[in-house]
Structure 1
Amino acid sequence: MVTIKDIEQAADRIAPHVLKTPLLESETLNARLGGRLFVKAESLQKTGSFKLRGATNRIACLSETEKARGVVAYSSGNHAQGVALAAKLHHVNAVIVMPSDAPKVKIANTERHGAEVVLYDRNTESREEIGAEIAEQRGSVLIPPYDDAHIIAGQGTAGLEIAEQAEESGVILDDVVICCSGGGLSSGVSLALADRSPETAVWTAEPEGFDDTARSLAAGRRVSNKPGAKSICDALLLPAPGALTFPILIEHVAGGLVVDDDDVRRAMKIAFEEFKLVLEPGGAVALAAILSRRIDVLGRNVAVIATGGNVDAALFAEVIQGR
């Protein structure tokens, strides 16, 4: 079990290494929506995503013996960068298993932080098997992207910040919407808000074809996505919710929202125009859910987490220019 105390301790532990990201607001969007929309800009976090929070907490909790053995992680890119930088900050060697079709910016940034990158084919190979094999061969500690108590607690620190920032603005949030894949962020944030802002309903947001969390919440059990689905949201393409994260989600999350790739493109463009934020597709899914009225903002106070901004320049230009 992950508790609010775990999240509070994680916040103290990672404070020297992560940024307190802003909670942004646009008068133009508020007028359009008829309520108040707040954007938690985790795309401005070091490494460009929230993943640094959980990775830093996990590596900081390693023993000196474990640190000496190094770490291994697998990731489509944002967890990769988080682990690479957290390992560098704690003087730990890191090996990261990444899909060969990951955005080039994510691969390059992971290497820039000093990690060794091992590429694999996501259609024919298992990143879990490759990561486990490397960890066994080298005696390293495996750092999973979401199904880990320290990771969940670290991601939950974003929820503490949202509650604090909303209180500073004199606002009680009616809803918080979170981009979701394995569920590390949404489970951690929902735990934090259950303690700090119990009036707030928490929702997950996913792209069509990868809406396993929404369907799992509706079914009351973990279900998987059908193979063959495609989405531009490369960070959110996992087959099923996590074994550790889902029990937290089913207790603390109101439901799951689903958007299509066109909704995501519009959200990326509006985030750039209204907030001057560069968002990757997966990082814009929660904003897309609000802008496409999956829940109504009329007369309400709603926050979304913009989870990441690591997008290749060519794709971002294509989206912004509407091609």
Structure 2
Amino acid sequence: MYTEIINAYDRIKNYIKNIPLYYSNIFSELKGGDIYLKLENLQRTGSFKIRGALNCMLKNKYKCEKGVIAASAGNHAQGVAFGAKLIGINATIVMPEITPLIKVVNTSKYGAKVVLHGKNYDEAYNKAIEIAENEGLYLIHPFDDLDVIAGQGTIAHEIYMEGIDIDQVLVPIGGGGLISGIASYFKHVKPEIKVFGIQADNAAGMYYSHLRKRVVTLSSSATIAEGIAVKRVGDKTFEFCENYMDDVLTVTDDEIAYAILQLIEQSKLVVEGAGAVGIAAILQNKIDVKNKKTAVVISGGNIDVNLISRIINKGMVTTGRFCQIIVNVKDMPGSLATVTSVVAKLQANILDIKHHRFDANLPVNYTKVILDLETKGFEHIEKIISELNRKGFEAKING
């Protein structure tokens, strides 16, 4: 596979961005090791997927005369569509009917024909096979294809050519194409480099396959890291991982969400769930990075803005920068003014106030006030509640 990866790099290097490793001062200082980010979220189409798709098309161009086809609801779709546009061939992308409109639009804007079919990826993939056979199109699998794997492995070649003495590499795993290419490359050029795969624990197909030494099919793959939400890894990729991957571990959706928030706030990087799993593993101390040089593959940045908003809101709650406080006050002039003066004196910002007078649990002549507050941490919240209670109010955190 090493030679195939080198050949793949020669094919695609003029079409892709070679983004140098980014040294993260924030995460390096936090964890006591040198942490480098491979920012494929800044790659063309916003993810690494264009690498494998392009290599597959360029190597098999004679098979693509009638066009190419792929099944995907995400990054692979855009990689194939954009790659086909770059080299001047037709592309058809089959997407599940539930695919968000923005992804359909983004794929269409690259000139691909989009076919909406089925309730999930499997149904869309079966339709793609059918269309490929009927129309003579070349089918590009998102991960279980040697040419796709070789294309993804060009990331490892770029990292290695920078000359940094890397000790270990953290790679997101969905179907396994990315880590198959990266692991096989590093184990050829420098076997002592450790390659760890990271999965969402709600879509941990490779984790359980590695554990049981056979490919397993998950009953569900629901995770915010939709780019790696794969129920069944590939047969080829499983074999690569068994031969070259050092280990695989998992992170929770909450840990992924926290990592996304930290990447936004601390590094000013917009990263999708799949791309954040390596940082999630580091932040949760699931991988030892102390006194080591660690490269983390940030595989993509195509995240829905609504999800970003929810993650930010949740992050503010879990870090004590937002809270809802319930205060029971006498329903009389001046009561609310006293409450707000306490909050103002303690320098919390009131975002919203709600009154609930008709609550069966309230004493007569009392009203329940819910304050949405922007705060400075849990100690600040406790101080606000303590002061309100000292003033004679019954105050508590909502929830």
TM range (shorter): over 0.9
Q: Which has the greater radius of gyration?
A: 2
Sequence identity percentage:
37
Q: Deviations over 1:273-302 (max 9, x none)?
A: 232211111221122112111111111111
Query: Partner of 2:283 in structure 1?
Result: 291
Match for 2:117: what amino acid?
A: Y
The answer to whether structure 1 residue 69 and structure 2 residue 66 are counterparts is: yes
Q: Counterparts of 1:103 and 1:311 in 2: how far apart (Å)?
A: 12
Which one scores higher on RCO, CA 8 angstroms, separation ≥ 6?
A: 1
The answer to whether structure 1 residue 202 and structure 2 residue 202 are counterparts is: no
* Unmatched runs of 5 consecutive residues or more in structure 1: none
Which runs of structure 2 are paired with 1:18-37 in the superposition (5 Å)? 18-37=16-35
The answer to whether structure 1 residue 193 and structure 2 residue 186 are counterparts is: yes
Query: Partner of 2:146 in structure 1?
Result: 149
Q: Counterparts of 2:188 and 2:251 in 1: how far apart (Å)?
A: 29
Aligned residue for 2:187, secondary structure, equals: helix
Moved more, 29-38 or 121-130: 121-130
Query: Partner of 1:239 in structure 2?
Result: 231
Find the partner of 1:131 among 128, 131, 134.
Answer: 128
Aligned residue for 1:39, secondary structure, equals: strand
* Unmatched runs of 5 consecutive residues or more in structure 2: 316-399
Query: Partner of 1:211 in structure 2?
Result: 204
Q: How many residues align?
A: 315
Q: 1:175 to 1:250 in 2, by over 3 A?
A: same
Query: Partner of 1:276 in structure 2?
Result: 268
The answer to whether structure 1 residue 86 and structure 2 residue 83 are counterparts is: yes
Would the aligned equivalents of 1:271 and 1:278 in 2 still touch at CA under 8 Å? Answer: yes
Shift of 1:243: 1.0
Q: Over aligned residue pairs, what C-alpha RMSD do you find? A: 1.6
Q: Counterparts of 1:298 and 1:104 in 2: how far apart (Å)?
A: 43
Q: 1:94 to 1:27 in 2, by over 3 A?
A: same
Q: Counterparts of 1:63 and 1:298 in 2: how far apart (Å)?
A: 46
Would the aligned equivalents of 2:71 and 2:121 in 1 still touch at CA under 8 Å? Answer: no
Aligned residue for 1:293, secondary structure, equals: coil
Shift of 1:210: 0.9
What's the TM-score once normalised by structure 2's chain length? 0.76
Q: Counterparts of 1:39 and 1:290 in 2: how far apart (Å)?
A: 12
Shift of 1:125: 5.8
Q: Counterparts of 2:116 and 2:191 in 1: how far apart (Å)?
A: 42
Query: Partner of 2:214 in structure 1?
Result: 221
Q: Counterparts of 2:285 and 2:133 in 1: how far apart (Å)?
A: 47
Query: Partner of 1:158 in structure 2?
Result: 155
Would the aligned equivalents of 1:43 and 1:50 in 2 still touch at CA under 8 Å? Answer: yes
Q: Deviations over 1:189-215 (max 9, x none)?
A: 111111233221101111112111112
Q: 1:124 to 1:55 in 2, by over 3 A?
A: closer
Query: Partner of 1:183 in structure 2?
Result: 176
Moved more, 6-15 or 118-127: 118-127
Query: Partner of 2:240 in structure 1?
Result: 248
What's the TM-score once normalised by structure 1's chain length? 0.93
